[in-house]
Amino acid sequence: MSKEIKQVKVIHMAFEDKAKHIATYVPEDGFQNVKDMLEDVFKFTQNRDDSWSNPEAKDPEGNHYDGSENLTMIASLENNPKNENGVYMGHRSTSVGDRMSVCYENNKGNGFYEKIFRVDDVGFSLCMTKNHVDGKKNTLENVFDQIDHLEKRMLLNEQMDDS
């Protein structure tokens, strides 16, 4: 029996100096296959026809296509530039190198049990799992610093193997 996915956090870090929690997706069907859900969230966080993150950004006919009603913006748009109509530009599309944190109910403490996936050229790869346990606090920054460190060590090991 599969576990119910409670939410998916979208973390942009491919082009940023520090990991930034941009949005959270709450699925209608939490028992969907995890890879299919990651594909859906990736699709919902692309700027194809307008802005996935800003419903005020509409096409010339006043339509808004991108995004999902199941996405909640975490990061403010107020630091983004405005377009020629005075509307804040939305967040960038989710890209290769960003992360998605799939959150399940945590039976061993408070918060969630998380599986953190890296957005790859094709698909997603599991980077890390973590439990939020009473009395211990893992900040988003600390977790992604750990992932970056591990990925750099893996790359260094691959380079050493090649020589």
Query: Do the beta carbons of residue 132 and residue 83 sit within 8 Å?
Result: no
Question: What pairing do the DSSP bridges indicate for beta strands 5-12 and 112-119?
Answer: unpaired
Amino acid at 3: K
pLDDT at 83: 83
Q: What is the pLDDT of residues 73-121, one digit of tens each?
A: 999 888 888 888 888 888 999 999 999 999 998 777 677 888 999 999 9
Which helix (H) or strand (E) element contains residue 39? helix 34-44
Cα 44 to chain centroid distance, Å, stands at 11
Where do the structural domains in the chain lie, given as residue ranges?
A: 5-162
d(CA 35, CA 126): 11
Residue 6 reports pLDDT greater than 60: yes
d(CA 124, CA 139): 23
Share of the chain above pLDDT 70, in %: 79
| pLDDT band for position 143 (cuts 50, 70, 90) | low
Per the prediction, the chain carries an average pLDDT of 83
pLDDT at 125: 92
What lies within 8 Å, CB to CB, of 149 at 6+ separation is none
User: Can you give the length of the chain in residues?
Assistant: 163
Phi and psi, residue 44, nearest 5°: -70, -20
From 114, 108, 96, 129, select the one nearest 13 (Cα to Cα): 96
Share of the chain above pLDDT 90, in %: 43
From 127, 129, 105, 98, select the one nearest 115 (Cα to Cα): 129
- Helices and strands, counts by H and E, the chain: 2, 6
pLDDT at 86: 84
**Residue with more model confidence, 30 or 146:** 30
Q: What is the mean pLDDT of residues 154-162?
A: 65
Based on its alpha-carbon atoms, the radius of gyration of the chain, rounded to whole angstroms, reads 17
98-132 exposure pattern, b = at least 16 Cβ within 10 A, e = fewer: bbbbbbbebeeeeebbbbbbbbeeeebeebbebeb
pLDDT at 135: 42
pLDDT at 113: 85
Residue 144 reports pLDDT greater than 70: no
